[in-house]
Chain A
Amino acid sequence: QKEVEQNSGPLSVPEGAIASLNCTYSDRGSQSFFWYRQYSGKSPELIMFIYSNGDKEDGRFTAQLNKASQYVSLLIRDSQPSDSATYLCAVNPSYIPTFGRGTSLIVHP
């Protein structure tokens, strides 16, 4: 059974700090990896995806993938209180995604 593991948190960081969110997965054949942000009471929204080993940057967000170690991470630089949300990791082989339970991030002023 394919599994995606995330620490449920909460992860608490001060405003302006780097928040680091981690995700591990069990299916070694997984090819694509997604990060979603979900505000309380709202639906998830896609913020990043990555296919290749290494880093992918988009604004304040950086996704990091290490297929050999089967982990993917999301870094949020210069964290803002508006970044406070739950971040869901998903592994998406062939368009059928498996989600982790999400990590709650709290950015305090």
Chain B
Amino acid sequence: NAGVTQTPKFRILKIGQSMTLQCTQDMNHNYMYWYRQDPGMGLKLIYYSVGAGITDKGEVPNGYNVSRSTTEDFPLRLELAAPSQTSVYFCAARGASPYEQYFGPGTRLTVT
């Protein structure tokens, strides 16, 4: 049981490049989330999804896009990368029970 997987683990982008951060869960959970975490800070919600085909903005959505075509996958797209997007990105999935909360291992992104 893999839980939540994220790829890549590390990435360096040049300013203006684009990329997609992949997130996959194998628990059939409806809720999925993308967060970013800057050094010494908590998690900021970028986008979330309550099920396939349904997504909504979180606290810091500018510069990002998401899609949720299946229950399993929730990719995060960065368009025109900027240094302010340098961060660690976590994907998470949540089930109906509050015990069912799982985070992926994270993607460390540097934009230079």
Contacts and interface: CB of A to CB of B under 8 A. Distances in A.
Q: Binding site of B, secondary structure by majority: helix, strand, loop or mixed?
A: strand
B98 A34 contact: yes
Interface core residue of A34, A42, A46, A102 (most chain B CB under 10 Å): A46
Interface string A75-100: 00000000000001010000111111
Contacts of B50: 95
Contact of B42 (A45, A46, A100): A100
A8 B48 CA distance: 26
Interface string A29-66: 00010100000001111100100000000000000000
A101 B40 contact: yes
A88 B43 CA distance: 9
Contacts of B43: 44, 88, 90, 97, 99
B42 A88 contact: yes
A91 B4 CA distance: 22
Interface in A1-50: 4, 6, 8, 32, 34, 42-46, 49
B58 interface: yes
Interface of A: 4, 6, 8, 32, 34, 42-46, 49, 88, 90, 95-102
25 contacts: A32-B98, A34-B101, A42-B105, A42-B106, A43-B90, A43-B103, A43-B104, A43-B106, A45-B103, A46-B98, A46-B99, A46-B101, A88-B42, A88-B43, A96-B45, A96-B48, A97-B33, A97-B43, A98-B59, A99-B43, A99-B44, A101-B40, A101-B41, A101-B42, A102-B42
